[in-house]
């Protein structure tokens, strides 16, 4: 399943009048990052960045004045998200702005069934909270010390790690180890690469003489030796060591 973890930064809080000035996205396929990202700064036209918003993300009107307008980058955004779930933290806010921008240029809104809100997910999973992105990073041991300001791509990267943790993706990945035969498929652009992993028994690396010498050494350590907590002996090995 293909998913896009994304975030937006805006000129203010009102989707009907304020505008998107930055969008960032991270592509996941079956809960694994593919390496594909989207990051675009957008000129909001006549709408100026509100001082309160500036304090949050630090993106100035001066910085944005030579950037493309939303209508000029809409196709790039649509192509990146095409066929994927739209996943955001407090998605109601981000999708309100996305759909308002689409409406301005005559495009249909994103269907609600294509949207996943990780804030709602977090509130169900951790009802006692807190469930801000920073709080979830602390909960899951994700380093966010470099997040001094909000940024669409940086926040998407952090949210992708949080989302993988919340959906058990990392544990699922670890579950591949030790499986008799498994195939992981990663989709990148227009090609699909399949990676097969198969277990096979390895031949012993030590001779019988070396193994016997090792067991004799263990026997000399006594029953209380720390090694005995970790060493698993076969019946033959125990017999040789006794």
Cβ distance 86 to 95 under 8 Å? yes
pLDDT in tens, 1-16: 999 999 999 999 999 9
Instruction: Please choose, from the candidates 85, 21, 32, 83, the residue with its C-alpha nearest in 3D space to the C-alpha of residue 57.
Output: 21
Predicted confidence at residue 168, as pLDDT, reads 86
Q: Please give the average per-residue pLDDT across 96-100, as a whole number.
A: 98
Element (H, E) at 102: helix 91-104
Please give the Cα distance from 70 to 44 (Å, whole number).
8
Strands 85-88 and 2-10: parallel
pLDDT in tens, 131-157: 999 999 999 999 988 887 789 999 999
- Give strand pairing partners of 27: 4
48: tokens are 């100026």
Predicted confidence at residue 146, as pLDDT, reads 81
pLDDT at 169 over 70: no
Q: Please give the average per-residue pLDDT across 21-27, as a whole number.
A: 98
Cβ distance 2 to 31 under 8 Å? no
pLDDT at 221 over 90: no
Catalytic residues: 150
Give the residue extent of every domain in the chain: 2-177, 208-241
Please give the Cα distance from 95 to 233 (Å, whole number).
60
Predicted confidence at residue 213, as pLDDT, reads 67
Class of domain 2-177: alpha beta
Predicted confidence at residue 170, as pLDDT, reads 60
110: tokens are 């994103």
Determine if the pTM surpasses 0.75: no
pLDDT in tens, 26-82: 999 999 999 999 999 999 999 999 999 999 999 999 999 999 999 999 999 999 999
Instruction: Please choose, from the candidates 212, 217, 218, the residue with its C-alpha nearest in 3D space to the C-alpha of residue 240.
Output: 212
Predicted confidence at residue 239, as pLDDT, reads 45
């Amino acid at each position: 399943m293909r998913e896009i973890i994304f975030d937006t930064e805006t000129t203010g809080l009102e989707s009907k009048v304020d505008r998107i000035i930055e969008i960032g996205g991270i592509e996941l396929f079956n809960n694994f990052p593919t390496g594909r990202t989207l990051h675009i700064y957008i000129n909001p036209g006549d709408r100026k960045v509100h001082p309160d918003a500036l304090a949050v993300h630090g993106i100035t009107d001066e910085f944005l004045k030579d950037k493309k307008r939303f209508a000029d980058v809409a196709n790039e955004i649509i192509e990146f998200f095409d066929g994927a779930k739209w996943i955001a933290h407090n998605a109601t806010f981000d999708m309100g702005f996305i759909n308002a921008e689409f409406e301005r240029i005559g495009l249909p809104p994103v269907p609600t069934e294509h949207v996943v809100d990780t804030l709602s997910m977090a509130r169900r999973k951790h009802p006692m909270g807190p469930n801000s992105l920073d709080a979830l990073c602390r909960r899951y041991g994700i380093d966010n010390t470099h997040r001094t300001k909000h940024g669409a791509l940086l926040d998407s990267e952090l949210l992708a790690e949080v989302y993988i943790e919340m959906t058990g993706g990392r544990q699922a990945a670890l579950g591949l180890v030790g499986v008799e035969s498994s195939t992981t498929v990663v989709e990148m652009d227009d090609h699909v690469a399949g990676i097969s992993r198969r277990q096979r028994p390895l031949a012993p690396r030590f001779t019988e003489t070396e193994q016997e010498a090792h067991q004799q050494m263990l026997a000399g350590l006594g029953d209380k030796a720390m090694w005995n907590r970790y060493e698993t002996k076969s019946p033959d090995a125990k017999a040789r060591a006794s």
